[in-house]
Structure 1
């Protein structure tokens, strides 16, 4: 993990395409702005983890469900 110190108004550039800018620092909070191409998906970590969990649930099929699907096909 790369750890950097930045002040309000300063930025980071990632891969010549993504800019992360420190917009505001106050009372234990930091407001950041992210500029990235539309092809780059940007999520808050908690939202990303929820999406992953829902995708995992959706992609799991029980053997019982599979057997029920096979019945009408025979």
Structure 2
């Protein structure tokens, strides 16, 4: 991991088309501006983690739901 120190108004360039600029520092919160082409997806890491958790939960239904469905299918057939 590259670690850099930047001040308000200073930027970091990633590749040829992405610029990250420090907009504001307030206590322990830093506001960043990210200038990137529309083809580059930019997401907050915690949202990606939440999405991955939600997808994993949706992909594996609770065992009681599986048992209920199995019982309903047995009664139907």
TM-score between the two structures when normalised by the length of structure 1: 0.71
CA distance in 1, matches of 2:60, 2:15: 35
TM-score between the two structures when normalised by the length of structure 2: 0.69
Q: Deviations over 1:4-57 (max 9, x none)?
A: 000000000101111100001121211101111111111111101111223334
What is the alpha-carbon root mean square deviation over aligned residues?
Answer: 2.3
How far did residue 58 of structure 1 move? 4.3
Q: Which runs of 4+ in 1 moved over 6 A?
A: none
CA distance in 2, matches of 1:26, 1:49: 26
SS at match of 2:43: coil
Kindly name which structure, 1 or 2, has the bigger radius of gyration based on alpha carbons. 2
